[in-house]
Each structure stands twice: as structure tokens, then as C-alpha cells.
Amino acid sequence: MSDQWHQGLRHVRGAELSGDTGQTGGMTRLEAISGKTVGSGKVWMGETHVAPATNSGDHHHGEAETAIYVKSGHPVFVFADGDDEVRLETSPGDYVFVPPYVPHREENPGDEPAVVIIARSSQEGIVVNLPSLWPDRA
């Protein structure tokens, strides 16, 4: 029996992740769970990879809340707090919450790739690339 309350589970294998989603320079974003891939209506999930000694471009994720789990590496999450630049240095097993519309970037100062798992409160992979963490100064 299949209806809106009794749908089957969907399985997306790690090798099936798609790069056909919003991208930001300096990182590779891969989509796993979305409206496009499994028909989800309220959640987007995937992962990002940042090569060693690389920074992503500055960006935000619109109205979506973003939850991040650090799978490997030691990425640094950078955002603006007024005129101050705040740096969150992370390790595998850490979590980071990014509120809607907060400009940020990921940096990987280490010598190994940084991989993070991402879940968003939208089935869209919303990515708004910015010229600066301070959009009003760009």
C-alpha cells in the first residue's frame, strides 16, 4: 500500500551522490537527499569536500537552517559578527549550526581533505554565493 503516509524508504548509496546542485568555489558539494533525488519535501542532505589548504567562497543558504557534522579533517567555519571575523575550528565528530542567511565560508588549513555531512531545512540545495562575508561592503 503506497500513499502519502505509507511510502517506501529510499536508499541512496554513497557512490550515487550527485554534484548536480548549487556549488561554491573552493569546495565540492554533493547531493544525497532532496526533492530531486528522492522526492523529499522538507529536507536536503549531502556532503561537502574541501581539499587541503583550500577555502570555499563566501556564501549563505537563504532561508534554510543548516546542520553540519564533521566527518573528517579539521575544517574551520568562518563568519562575520558585526565587524569581527569569527573562526570555529572543528574536529571529526563536531557539529555546527548555521542559521538562515548567515554569510560564511569553510576553510581547510590542514593537509588532509575535510569532509562534512550537511542537512538543511529545505529540500532545495540553496546556495547564494557572495563576494564578501560583509555583503553590505561588497
- pLDDT tens, position by position, 32-53: 999 999 988 899 999 999 999 9
16: which residues sit within 8 A by CB, 6+ positions away?
32
Enumerate the domain spans of the chain. Answer: 27-130
- Phi-psi group of 31: left, alpha or beta (phi > 0 → left; psi -120 to 50 → alpha; rest → beta): beta
Give the CATH H-level superfamily of domain 27-130: Jelly Rolls (2.60.120.10)
What value does the mean pLDDT of the chain take?
91
Q: Which of 25, 26, 22 is nearest to 64 (CA)?
A: 22
> Quick check: 10 pLDDT over 70?
yes
Q: Name the range with the highest mean pLDDT among 7-11, 103-107, 119-123.
A: 103-107
- Residue 15 clears pLDDT 90, i.e. is over it: yes
> What's the pLDDT score for residue 8?
87
What are the cell numbers at 23? 556549488
Q: What is the pLDDT of residue 126?
A: 84
Copy the grid coordinates of residue 53: 589548504
